[in-house]
Amino acid sequence: MILCLMTNILFTFSEAASEQSQTDLRSRLMSRQGIKAVGRISPDAKRPFLRRMWYAQVSDNKTAEVLTQELNGLSEIESAEVPPERGLSTAR
């Protein structure tokens, strides 16, 4: 059995980013190797801030690091980060 671990990147578009620019960036990201999924965190959200929040699921940590840096360098991106892991604590 092969265990494949994915890494998620959370990113938020700036207020100035149009719906079209968000869709275009999604298409560009999905065409890249190592990126498995890209989408809105809350696709049915009515509030503009929530509609600007996206995720990218990538195949490994190196891809996550490179993509996070690239996203943070784009003018239409407000922020991009790999969220901290949330492990279950075994301490009692």
Q: What is the pLDDT of residues 48-73, one digit of tens each?
A: 999 999 999 999 999 999 999 999 99
Residue 61 belongs to a domain: no
Number of domains in the chain: 1
Is it the case that residue 86 has pLDDT exceeding 90? no
Considering the domain boundaries, does residue 1 fall inside one?
yes
90 vs 17, higher pLDDT: 17
Range of the domain at 44: 1-54
Tokens standing for residue 84: 């901290």
pTM: 0.85
Q: How far is CA 74 from CA 43, 64, 67, 78, in A?
A: 22, 16, 11, 8
